[in-house]
């Protein structure tokens, strides 16, 4: 079974940059198809700490990145306020930091055009009562918290509305070449095993940390270094603003408030493969120990979850340490670089600069295709999407206000994140979700303190109610999806299994295994003779998984 598709441009990668690219193409009237091997935001975009950079973090060591972030920060605030919470940011000198760095930092901010203001410590303490009372100085910057899931969905919705095609769970198995030109790609639809060939005049490699693997299919070498960053989410919002240590970037020097939680991070460790990495106990210990300098006692608070993502660092300069690799992006034109036409790669960069990266890539491709329509992504607002406010910025109490204003008290499926039945119905029926973990990215299902301990089963029942007749395997499909989601949630819990969170995990385990017998449910669904890759678990029983992780 196979099919063939044709487009002007093929985009590989469904993270922020790839979806930004396909939206830019659609705005210029260029026929585009995007392929992603998982769900949108399945990779790095869905695993970062949620920071909209002011540029302050890079002003001393990487001024180009700082300038790019500062400019894009203001653009994203204009085009997607409904995906951004305007928390503001602080850079603070703790007793463990060199106070002399403050003047270097402020001078570098002003040289890069990054807004900065010296804030009286008394004012900081009124706004941030949990911060270290022995802070020496504090500076305000234009940091904010961003919801990458909402932002990506808004870009995708706009791209689809303008004629673009976005294909999730389509794994690129090879690039099509005619002589010295890339003419498209061969893919496998992972949901049914169908072979899909996509013919395109141009292919844009926006696969992030996987960009080197994609380029390798054309025999090209890209020095992309997957830099693992581990983060820890605390179960409540311990700060109201983004708080950074005012010192050269290092591990564990930032706290980002995201919705009702706070994220501590992050590490930077090179890994050989973006698909193969773990979270080590010493990383968690380091993050919590460093967090003590900002919020004394944080290491004794309830840690909710740990996870890691891989940064797509592009090593075009000699660097001893991964933190010495510039965070700016590079657009690689493989025709001029390698003699291979019809193929470009956009690598490196930050979430904050995704739109700029997309613009530069599409500018190059459009010029080669003879299309003179300018980029409009900096001025065209992104549409509202489910879960975002209809106007204004994201706010901490936005979801609660929605539930109360619509009197949806009986329709709340996930109490921790206030996910309603309507949100899940929309995601299941029209959102393209292939499993419960996709619903998490769409709605925040299971991302609260109980980590899916109660809402998983409600969501699985709703899935079967709406999709049971269509899914191969019928009731077995919902059962396998339940196993898969519990296992996905467990992966981020094993590294922080102590205290109150361990008690919660034990309760979740008792419900899953002793009450519902989830370990006895089918482990996989057979669809068209192939194992469904989105629901297969690694072990034979969840009981084994709980204790083997």
Per residue in 149-160, pLDDT tens? 999 999 999 999
Burial class (CB in 10 A: 0-12, 13-18, 19+), 379: exposed
Instruction: Sketch the domain layout of the chain as residue ranges.
Output: 398-548
Percent of the chain with pLDDT over 70: 92
Burial class (CB in 10 A: 0-12, 13-18, 19+), 397: exposed
- What average pLDDT does this structure show over 112-136? 98
- For 383, the 3-state DSSP assignment is coil
Supply angle C-alpha 255, 256, 262, rounded to 5: 85
- Pick the range with the lowest mean pLDDT from 312-321, 366-375, 433-442, 495-504: 312-321
Kindly report the three-state secondary structure assignment for every residue of 58-80: HCCCCHHHHHHHHHHHHHHHHHC
The DSSP call for residue 207 is -
Non-local (6+) Cβ contacts of 285 within 8 A are none
Give me the residues paired with residue 526 across strands.
531
Which of these, 519, 441, 512, lies nearest to 480 by C-alpha position? 519
Peptide bond into 266 cis (omega under 30): yes
The token duo for 19 is 């979806």
Contact 321, 162 (CB under 8 A): no
- What average pLDDT does this structure show over 500-511? 93
Whole-model pTM? 0.91
Contact 48, 148 (CB under 8 A): yes
pLDDT at position 292 is 98
- What average pLDDT does this structure show over 390-399? 88
- For 332, the 3-state DSSP assignment is strand
**End-to-end distance of the chain based on CA atoms, in angstroms?**
38
Non-local (6+) Cβ contacts of 375 within 8 A are 24, 27, 28, 359, 362, 363
Alpha-carbon span 473 to 442, nearest angstrom: 24
pLDDT at position 325 is 61
Highest mean pLDDT pick, 30-34, 265-269, 276-280:
30-34
Burial class (CB in 10 A: 0-12, 13-18, 19+), 411: middle
Contact 257, 242 (CB under 8 A): yes
Name the more confident of 543 and 291.
Answer: 291
Which of these, 512, 498, 516, 502, lies nearest to 544 by C-alpha position? 512
pLDDT at position 467 is 87
Contact 69, 53 (CB under 8 A): yes
Which of these, 272, 278, 279, lies nearest to 225 by C-alpha position? 272
Alpha-carbon span 171 to 37, nearest angstrom: 4
Strand 137-141 relative to strand 89-93, pairing: antiparallel
Residue 539 has pLDDT above 50, yes or no: no
- φ, ψ of residue 398 to 5 degrees: the values are -60, -45
Average pLDDT over the chain, rounded to whole? 90
Residue with tokens 């390698």: 338
Residue 544 has pLDDT above 60, yes or no: no
pLDDT at position 537 is 32
- What average pLDDT does this structure show over 15-22? 98
Residue 543 has pLDDT above 50, yes or no: no
Alpha-carbon span 376 to 387, nearest angstrom: 25
Alpha-carbon span 319 to 251, nearest angstrom: 17
Helix (H) or strand (E) holding 424: helix 421-429
pLDDT at position 494 is 87
Cα pseudo-dihedral 434, 437, 438, 441, rounded to 10: 180
Which of these, 238, 239, 244, lies nearest to 91 by C-alpha position? 244
Burial class (CB in 10 A: 0-12, 13-18, 19+), 436: buried
Contact 208, 152 (CB under 8 A): no
pLDDT tens profile 433-479? 999 999 999 999 999 999 999 999 999 999 999 987 666 656 678 88
Alpha-carbon span 246 to 105, nearest angstrom: 8
Contact 31, 175 (CB under 8 A): no
The DSSP call for residue 92 is E
The DSSP call for residue 168 is S
Alpha-carbon span 320 to 110, nearest angstrom: 28
- What average pLDDT does this structure show over 201-214? 97
Alpha-carbon span 462 to 443, nearest angstrom: 14
The DSSP call for residue 57 is G
């Amino acid at each position: 079974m196979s099919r063939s598709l044709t487009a002007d441009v093929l985009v590989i990668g469904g993270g922020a940059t790839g979806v930004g690219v396909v939206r830019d193409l659609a705005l210029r009237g260029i026929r585009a198809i995007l392929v992603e091997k998982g769900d949108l935001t399945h990779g790095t975009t869905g695993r970062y700490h949620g920071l909209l950079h002011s540029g302050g973090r890079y002003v001393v060591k990487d001024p180009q990145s700082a300038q790019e972030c500062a400019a894009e920060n203001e653009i994203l605030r204009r085009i997607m306020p409904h995906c951004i919470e305007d928390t503001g940011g602080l850079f603070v000198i703790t007793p463990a930091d060199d106070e002399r760095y403050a003047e270097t930092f402020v001078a570098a901010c002003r040289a890069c055009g990054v807004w900065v203001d010296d804030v009286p410590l008394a004012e900081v303490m009124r706004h941030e009562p949990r911060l270290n009372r022995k802070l020496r100085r504090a500076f305000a910057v234009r940091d904010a918290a961003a919801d990458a899931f909402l932002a990506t969905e808004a870009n995708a919705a706009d791209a689809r509305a303008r004629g673009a095609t976005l294909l999730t769970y389509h794994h690129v198995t090879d690039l099509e070449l005619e002589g010295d030109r890339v003419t498209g790609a061969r893919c496998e639809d992972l949901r049914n095993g169908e072979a899909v060939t996509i013919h395109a005049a141009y292919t844009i490699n926006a696969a992030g940390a996987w960009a080197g693997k994609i380029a390798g299919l054309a025999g090209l070498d890209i020095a992309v270094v997957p830099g693992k960053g581990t983060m820890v989410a605390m179960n409540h919002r311990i700060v109201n603003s983004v708080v950074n240590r005012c010192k050269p970037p290092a591990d564990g020097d930032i706290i980002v408030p995201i919705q009702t939680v706070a994220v501590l991070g992050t590490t930077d460790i090179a890994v050989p493969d973006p698909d193969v990495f773990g979270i080590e106990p010493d990383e968690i210990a380091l993050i919590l120990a460093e967090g003590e300098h900002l919020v004394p006692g944080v290491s004794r608070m309830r840690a909710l979850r740990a996870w890691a993502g891989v940064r797509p660092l592009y090593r075009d300069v000699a660097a001893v340490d991964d933190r010495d690799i510039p965070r700016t992006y590079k657009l690689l034109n493989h025709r001029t670089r390698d003699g291979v036409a019809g193929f470009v790669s956009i690598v490196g960069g930050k979430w904050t600069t995704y739109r700029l990266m997309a613009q530069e890539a599409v500018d190059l491709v459009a010029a080669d295709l003879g299309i003179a329509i300018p980029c409009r992504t900096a001025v065209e607002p992104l549409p509202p999407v489910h879960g975002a406010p209809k106007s204004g910025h994201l706010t901490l109490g936005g979801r609660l206000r929605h539930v109360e204003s619509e009197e949806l008290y009986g329709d709340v499926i996930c109490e921790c994140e206030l996910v309603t039945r309507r949100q899940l119905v929309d995601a299941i029926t029209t959102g393209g979700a292939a499993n419960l973990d996709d619903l998490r990215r769409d709605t925040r299902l299971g991302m609260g303190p109980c980590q899916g301990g109660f809402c998983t089963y409600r969501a699985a029942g709703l899935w079967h109610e709406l999709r049971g007749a269509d899914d191969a395997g019928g009731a077995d499909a919902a059962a396998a999806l339940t196993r898969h989601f519990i296992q996905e949630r467990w992966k981020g819990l094993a590294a922080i299994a102590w205290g109150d969170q361990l008690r919660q995990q034990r309760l979740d385990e008792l419900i899953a295994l002793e009450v519902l017998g989830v370990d006895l449910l089918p482990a996989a669904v057979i669809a068209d003779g192939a194992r469904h890759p989105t629901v297969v678990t690694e072990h034979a029983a969840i009981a084994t998984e709980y204790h083997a992780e």
